């Protein structure tokens, strides 16, 4: 042990040198309470930073928030010139990002899932027409259910979460309208804007319990919109088997990020934050960064649903064709995503 301590002492000056070495361009990310390795929301955004690191040779740093109280503190600790652009991931960081951006007008910020009105010159918001992709997922789920009951629950009742639930529910309505069925959605009512929420983005236990409740009520497909909380739901589905319960992933293609339980994911509603984050970094390096909003849509590939993977053979060809039609309809505007 003494040897190691001595080595540590020798390493210290070296470490100091490293710490002060300035990279060419540094992108920093602050996660919400889900953490950097949540398999979905924060991880997808971080993937964009990592892609930029690989392709553009930038430096990358991140800071995890352990509680809501950390947001402001974390932003503060990244200020002071060590980051060229700071990504804050999530709607809940909206207030803290705004305050920091106004106090530090020379610092570039970009926030996922938040748009300021009026725009702040040094903040670029990234928002997504997630309802478009969720609409497709709802249509698919309505076509796949055997019980005629679908389940959905969210993390916190905030727009970037409920937009998934809205789109999903509208997609199911659309299916019912086309096929004359009466598939129902438990856990969210787009009109009253009330539903099931775990009120956190980090408890896998809650994810399991909420999915269990929905399953007990007859749901055979569940959409958890709560970042890593959904992993708890997937664990339940993996135990019950996909014949009993299927899960629809969110943010990333969970079949790929959560391969151990890949067999339970019917599909995933992807928010391509990696793409938009990468785009923002490119703009920042090129000097074309300006405050405002970029919107990811089905049309520009910012949102989409993932391939069916293991369910490729189970999804009827007719349903797959219908999905393609609906998708085209959304893009050309002939199908309106919204309440009926």
Using CA atoms, how far residue 289 sits from 231, 283, 308, in Å, is 36, 5, 36
193 binds another protein (CB under 8 A): yes
Tell me if 327 sits within 8 A of 157, measured CB to CB.
no
Out of 22, 67, 286, 340, the residue judged to bind another protein by CB under 8 A: 67
Q: 41-56 vs 273-286: helix axis angle to the nearest 10?
A: 40
- The residue range among 131-139, 192-200, 234-242, 272-280 that interacts with another protein, by the rule CB under 8 A, is 192-200
Out of 24, 54, 55, 77, the residue judged to bind another protein by CB under 8 A: 77
225 binds another protein (CB under 8 A): no
7 binds another protein (CB under 8 A): yes
- The residue range among 66-74, 221-229, 234-242, 319-327 that interacts with another protein, by the rule CB under 8 A, is 66-74
Phi, psi of 327 (to 5 degrees): -55, -45
80 binds another protein (CB under 8 A): yes
Closest to 269 in 3D by CA, of 195, 337, 339, 213? 337
69 binds another protein (CB under 8 A): yes
Tell which positions 32-51 bind another protein, by CB under 8 A: 33
Closest to 250 in 3D by CA, of 113, 121, 51, 120? 113
Out of 54, 55, 68, 338, the residue judged to bind another protein by CB under 8 A: 68
Out of 50, 58, 100, 144, the residue judged to bind another protein by CB under 8 A: 100
For the sheet with 85-89, list strands across it. 59-63, 26-30, 85-89, 108-112, 123-128, 292-296
d(CA 255, CA 270): 11
Neighbours of 257 (CB within 10 A): 20
Using CA atoms, how far residue 6 sits from 11, 18, 30, 125, in Å, is 9, 19, 34, 48
Out of 157, 181, 212, 213, the residue judged to bind another protein by CB under 8 A: 157
314 binds another protein (CB under 8 A): no
288 binds another protein (CB under 8 A): no
- Which residues would be at the binding site for another protein (CB under 8 A)? 1, 4-5, 7-8, 11-12, 14-16, 18-19, 28, 33, 61-64, 66-70, 72-74, 76-80, 82, 92, 95, 100, 103-104, 156-159, 162, 193, 199-200
């Amino acid at each position: 042990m003494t040897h190691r301590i001595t080595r540590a002492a020798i390493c210290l000056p070296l470490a100091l040198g490293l710490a002060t070495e300035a990279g060419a361009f540094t992108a920093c990310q602050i996660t919400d309470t889900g953490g950097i390795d949540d398999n979905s929301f924060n991880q997808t955004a971080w993937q964009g930073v990592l892609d930029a690191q690989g392709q553009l040779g930038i430096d990358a740093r991140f800071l995890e928030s352990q509680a809501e109280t950390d947001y402001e503190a974390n932003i503060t600790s990244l200020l002071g010139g060590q980051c060229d652009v700071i990504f804050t991931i999530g709607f809940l960081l909206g207030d803290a990002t705004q305050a920091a951006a106004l106090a530090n007008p020379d610092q570039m910020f970009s926030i996922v899932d938040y748009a300021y009105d009026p725009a702040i010159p040094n903040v670029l918001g990234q928002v997504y027409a997630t309802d478009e992709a969720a609409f497709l997922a709802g249509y698919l789920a309505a076509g796949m259910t055997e019980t005629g009951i679908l389940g959905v629950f969210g993390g916190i009742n905030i727009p970037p979460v409920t937009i998934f639930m809205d789109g999903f529910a509208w997609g199911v309505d659309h299916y019912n309208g086309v096929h004359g069925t009466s598939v129902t959605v438990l856990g969210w009512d787009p009109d009253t804007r009330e539903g099931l929420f775990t009120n956190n983005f980090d408890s896998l236990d809650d994810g399991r319990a909420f999915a269990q409740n929905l399953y007990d009520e007859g749901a055979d497909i569940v959409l958890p919109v709560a970042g890593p909380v959904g992993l708890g739901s997937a664990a339940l589905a993996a135990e019950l088997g996909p014949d009993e319960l299927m899960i629809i992933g969110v943010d990333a293609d969970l079949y790929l990020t959560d391969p151990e339980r890949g067999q339970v994911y019917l599909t995933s509603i992807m928010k391509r934050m990696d793409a938009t984050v990468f785009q923002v970094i490119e703009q920042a390096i090129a000097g074309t960064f300006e405050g405002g909003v970029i919107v990811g849509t089905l049309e520009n590939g910012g949102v989409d649903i993932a391939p069916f993977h293991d369910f490729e053979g189970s999804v009827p060809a007719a349903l797959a064709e219908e999905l393609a039609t609906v998708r085209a309809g959304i893009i050309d505007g002939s199908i309106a995503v919204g309440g009926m």
